């Protein structure tokens, strides 16, 4: 392994301290974190990523806690015979066992410390003594979506460490938080009756990203009405005969009611989507590549090309309508030495591109 990061082998070996240290390096954008990801990347791609999103107060953390309990209980109690029977009942999607579970809980950023303000580990005390469960709160650090920029790389660390299932719990739900679908293999949208957020959430692009809907706190008044509202929205969409139609499940996370059914439904989706997982991973890889290039380009502009505060000054001109964003972008591209088509405002294809692998990206 060329230029291997000193933590890489310990992470791959499942060392909990090394995993925690690696995620801290990634979260803090330590320059060495890039070498770390490079070093472990070949050992990734095996973990199943479960995204859990929904409005604040929907009980996501409690639900995730119960999901972890169910996954670990199956690991301890299952025999091959029981597992084969369950796999058959669930459409063949249930794994033989889940030995290691990781949770990345994405919290709002404290304006004072820059760290995670809610601390989901405090809400998941059940698993403190279980060395097969790794729980980490991460801060959004002002990122517009519900995911921290570092989430995908943190998931890679857990993946390389041999974690079979990684659950990613995101902040809130809305126009920005739909990015969970770009990271997770399955997306669970959690809604709760009577919170005042449910109808708005259904209008915020959530119908397009949910693979499974969960009406949590189902003992509350209005749970049936909320489920009917979701069903009404689903009925407006067309699903092919072999296409997955998001089911609507009811849970009471505090008691655990409905959680085993939720986990079984996740396995059913996993089996159903298995034939297309490779293509979805390719799309995610392309999306991640674009995000990295965009971020690196902007970092280069601000660090090397522009004067301090110049981006803010340009943004003010655009906001004041004294400069349009296309002219501003063309100017930045020109200053960075990138040719662009003056008519379209896009970089010219094939111009200024270097051949060969971009080892320094």
Q: Tell me the whole-structure pTM to 2 decimals.
A: 0.82
- The Cα–Cα gap between 180 and 185 comes to 9
Q: Which residue ranges in the chain fall short of pLDDT 50?
A: 1, 77-92, 109-117, 119-121, 142-146, 175-176, 351-361
Contacts for 223-230 with beta carbons within 8 Å, 24 or more apart? Answer: 223/193, 223/250, 225/193, 226/191, 226/192, 226/193, 226/198, 229/198, 229/199, 229/202, 230/191, 230/202
pLDDT digits (tens, 9 = 90+) for 271-299: 999 999 889 889 888 988 998 899 889 98
Predicted confidence at residue 258, as pLDDT, reads 97
pLDDT of residue 57: 85
pLDDT at 73: 82
Query: Could you tell me the residue ranges of all domains in the chain?
Result: 1-37, 44-275, 280-335
Show the tokens assigned to 46. Answer: 């095996």
Q: Does domain 44-275 have CATH number 3.40.50.720?
A: no
pLDDT score for 312: 94
């Amino acid at each position: 392994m060329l230029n291997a990061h000193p933590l890489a082998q310990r992470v791959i070996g499942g060392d909990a301290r090394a995993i925690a240290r690696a995620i801290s390096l990634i979260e803090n954008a330590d320059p060495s974190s890039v070498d770390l990801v490079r070093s472990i990347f070949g050992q990734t791609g095996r973990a199943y990523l479960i995204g859990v999103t929904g409005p604040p107060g929907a009980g996501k953390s409690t639900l995730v806690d119960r999901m972890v309990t169910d996954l670990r209980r199956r690991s301890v109690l299952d025999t091959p015979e029981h597992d084969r029977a369950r796999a058959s009942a669930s459409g063949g999607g249930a794994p033989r066992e889940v030995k290691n579970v990781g949770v990345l809980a994405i919290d709002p950023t404290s304006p004072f410390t820059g760290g995670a303000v809610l601390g989901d580990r405090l809400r998941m005390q059940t698993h403190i003594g279980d060395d097969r469960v790794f729980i980490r709160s991460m801060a959004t650090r002002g990122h517009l979506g519900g995911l921290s920029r570092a989430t995908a790389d943190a998931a890679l660390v857990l993946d390389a460490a041999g974690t079979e299932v990684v659950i990613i719990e995101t902040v809130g739900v809305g126009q920005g938080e739909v990015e969970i679908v770009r990271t997770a293999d399955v997306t669970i949208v959690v809604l709760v009756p009577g919170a005042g957020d449910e109808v708005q959430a259904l209008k915020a692009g959530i119908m397009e990203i949910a693979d499974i809907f969960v009406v949590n706190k189902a003992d509350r008044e209005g749970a049936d009405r909320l489920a009917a509202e979701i069903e009404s929205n689903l009925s407006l969409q067309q699903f092919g005969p072999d296409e997955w139609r998001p089911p609507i499940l009811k849970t009471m996370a505090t008691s655990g009611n409905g959680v085993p059914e939720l986990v079984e439904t996740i396995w059913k989706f996993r089996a159903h989507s298995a034939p297309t997982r490779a293509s979805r991973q390719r799309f995610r890889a392309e999306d991640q590549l674009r995000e990295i290039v965009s971020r690196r380009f902007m970092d280069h502009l601000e660090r090397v090309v522009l004067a301090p505060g110049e981006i803010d000054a340009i943004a003010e001109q655009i906001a004041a309508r004294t400069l349009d964003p296309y002219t501003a972008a063309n100017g930045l591209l020109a200053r960075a030495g990138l040719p662009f088509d003056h008519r379209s405002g896009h970089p010219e294809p094939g111009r200024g591109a270097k051949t060969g692998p971009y080892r320094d990206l």
